[in-house]
Amino acid sequence: MAMPMSVQTDLDQYIHDTLESQDVRRIGRFIAAVEPSELSNDLHPTRRKASAKQELEPIEALFQAGEELFETELAVVYGYGHEWTPQGPKMHRVHRGAKGGPDSFSCRSCHHRGGDDGAGEYNENALVAGDGVSVRSALERNPPPLQGAGLLQILASEVTAVLQNNISGPPPSEPTKIPLIVQDVDFGSVTRMPDGTIDTKDLHSIDPDLIVKPFGWKGTHSSLRRFAEEAFQVHHGMESSVLGWHRRFFGPQPMFASQATRDIMGAFSDGDPLDLDRDGVRGELSESMLTAISVYLALLPLPTIEPPRAPDLLTAYRQGQAAFHSVGCASCHKPMWILSSPTWIEQSEAQNSATRVTLDLRKDIRNGPPLRNRDAEIQGYPVLLFSDLRRHDMGSELSDPPPKTAKPSIAPSYFLTRPLWGLADSAPYLHDGRAVTVADAIKFHGGEAAESRRKYLALPVETQRALQVFLMSLSRASLPEVSQ
């Protein structure tokens, strides 16, 4: 079949880039063999690219260093692992509580299915919060895809600002119930008290701090920086200098940290403050590395919607889209949010650091679709996310097992509405990766989604299939867009 000219050119360029990156990797392996510390220096962002001796603009330099960090197989020279023994690093496929693994050697090893920075296979599930030995003691978590992460971070921070604005100003003279509704999503309500306190006991869909946390299956993190920091710690045993510093001055409970990070800091409480995991390496994960990985994650391409071209499939797509609304999927998987500002400032946390990078998702996204133009009618940028950014009770069908010890901060049956953008390329589905098709994923919905599932199952089989055609059009861009 003849290929349109533009596709052919894209393809040539793509093959060229792929071969070139293979070469770079090959050379990298040789360098690692003769001079391992050379390679670890490469993980630190610099403006000068050694091979081309060409000045890079700061965002490009950070992006490249972040990509390197994401793909590198982390070894002892980088501070991999904890508590080295003469037998080598103690690997833990099953996490030991907050301490995690290490369970793998690179970010990429779990985030690759469906393409770069994608999802993970079922057998790559992280086995978190376990006893370090038995799989049954742990919670299974399937690696989600990472595309669009930057836009998700910015959107969540805008929604947080609106939520928090609801409770600002002087306290009311009598207890006042405040509904928390943003862009038609009902996050519940809180009650403001005359003494300035806020009663949040009726809140289930987000945390009492009213910060929308779009990352993690349970909605545990609001920033890519903190998520990546934790991922390095739990999967690779590489500890962040920032955490070490905070541990030293503020103890294990700093304000900014997520509950999971506080738990990690508590777990590593006794050693040398600069080498908490006692592997003899200090400064394993520097601030500039954290900035690089955050910039990298923030600038990953956005998922797209690619309806089928064949006329009968296109008809099915339209029917499926209508069914998505009529059976109530859209009530949780909100198709569109509106973003006001496409910029994000990634900032280093050290007091004397001047690193401050402003990312603009309209032009800075690499290797794929960026944010499209502002839509005058909706007065903002459409974000086709398919999530309401809330947590829901998904019933016994999807619940984690009852906790054995301390009560978890998020109830076992509550999960964040998973964004469905990029869905076609991110199987297997659900938090533990138990479903390989979307039809199966829908069948496991329970709790607040039970009614929607019932309506879906009552549809004629052709309409169910049409709904699946619609879902399969939520995908990654089909060909990488290559920069000229």
CB of 42 to ligand HEC, least distance (A): 16
| Interface stretch with ligand HEC, choices 165-173, 181-189, 194-202, 440-448 (CB under 6 A) | 440-448
Of the candidate spans 80-88, 193-201, 343-351, 418-426, the one that interacts with ligand HEC by CB under 6 A turns out to be 418-426
Number of H helices, E strands in the chain: 14, 15
Question: Mask: binding to ligand HEC, 360-399, rule CB under 6 A, as x and -?
Answer: --------------------------------x-x---x-
Q: Which of 173, 172, 189 is nearest to 181 (CA)?
A: 189
Angle at 10 between CA 152 and CA 47, to 5 degrees: 60
Nearest distance from C-beta of residue 443 to ligand HEC, angstroms: 10
Whether 484 and 15 have beta carbons less than 8 Å apart is answered as no
Q: Which residue in the set 154, 297, 365, 410 belongs to the binding site for ligand HEC (CB under 6 A)? A: 297
What minimum distance in Å lies between the beta carbon of 397 and ligand HEC? 9
The amino acid occupying position 200 is T
Query: 84 φ, ψ to 5°?
Result: -60, 145
CB of 245 to ligand HEC, least distance (A): 19
Q: Which is nearer to ligand HEC, 192 or 225 (CB)?
A: 225
Return the bridge partners of 19, or none: none
What letter represents residue 276's amino acid? L
Q: Which stretch binds ligand HEC (CB under 6 A): 135-143, 175-183, 191-199, 373-381?
A: 135-143
410 binds ligand HEC (CB under 6 A): no
Point out which span in 220-228, 248-256, 261-269, 348-356 binds ligand HEC (CB under 6 A): 220-228
Cα–Cα distance for residue pair 331/390, rounded to 1 Å: 11
Q: Please tell me the count of residues contacting ligand HEC according to CB under 6 A.
A: 54
DSSP SS3 for 477? coil
Backbone angles phi, psi at 178, to 5 degrees: -115, 115
Per CB under 6 A, the segment of 30-38, 199-207, 224-232, 369-377 that binds ligand HEC is: 224-232
Among positions 65, 146, 292, 410, the unique one binding ligand HEC when judged by CB under 6 A: 146
DSSP state of 343: E
107 scored as a contact of ligand HEC (CB under 6 A): yes
Q: By C-alpha distance, which of 204, 451, 163 is closest to 331?
A: 451
Q: How far is the CB of 431 from ligand HEC (least distance, A)?
A: 3
Q: Which of 10, 31, 71, 109 binds ligand HEC (CB under 6 A)?
A: 109
**Phi first, then psi: what are they for 126, rounded to 5°?**
-80, 140
State in angstroms the smallest separation of the CB of 119 from ligand HEC.
Answer: 8
* C-alpha to C-alpha distance for 423 and 438, rounded to whole angstroms: 9
Q: Identify which of residues 16 and 454 has a Cβ nearer to ligand HEC in the complex.
A: 454
- Kindly report the number of other CB atoms within 10 A of residue 347's CB atom: 16
Q: Which residues pair with residue 343 across a beta bridge?
A: 360
Pick the stretch among 33-41, 158-166, 167-175, 322-330 that binds ligand HEC (CB under 6 A). 322-330
Among 42, 68, 103, 207, binds ligand HEC (CB under 6 A): 103
State in Å, rounded, how far the first CA of the chain is from the last one: 26
Q: Which span sits near ligand HEC by CB under 6 A: 21-29, 119-127, 199-207, 368-376? A: 119-127
Dihedral sign, Cα of residue 75, residue 77, residue 82, residue 87? positive
Place of tokens 């910015």: 154
Binding of ligand HEC at residue 226 (CB under 6 A)?
no
Looking at residue 238, the DSSP 8-state letter turns out to be: -
Per-residue binding string, ligand HEC, 326-365, x by CB under 6 A, is: -xxx-xxx--------------------------------
Hey, which residues between 170 and 209 contact ligand HEC (CB under 6 A)? none
Of 51-59, 199-207, 358-366, 412-420, which part binds ligand HEC (CB under 6 A)? 412-420
The residues in 242-281 that bind ligand HEC, with binding defined as CB under 6 A, are none
- Burial track 14-42 (b if 16+ CB lie within 10 A, e otherwise): eeeeeeeeeeeeeebeeebeeeeeebbeb
Longest dimension (CA), the chain: 74
> CA of 166: how far to CAs of 157, 182, 188, in Å?
15, 10, 12
Structure tokens at 189: 């309500």
Q: What is the enclosing helix (H) or strand (E) of 383?
A: strand 381-383
Asked if residue 438 binds ligand HEC (CB under 6 A), the reply is: yes
Q: Which of 190, 449, 472, 474 binds ligand HEC (CB under 6 A)?
A: 449
The residue with tokens 């985030």 is 111
**180/471 with CB nearer ligand HEC:** 471
CA angle 161, 167, 170 (to 5 degrees): 130
Nearer to ligand HEC, 192 or 234 (CB): 234
Three-state secondary-structure class, residue 381: strand
Binding site for ligand HEC (CB under 6 A): 70, 103-104, 107, 109-111, 120, 124, 126, 141-144, 146, 149, 215-217, 220, 224, 227-228, 231-232, 235, 293, 297, 327-329, 331-333, 392, 394, 398, 415, 417-418, 420, 423, 426, 429-431, 438, 441-442, 445, 448-449, 452, 456
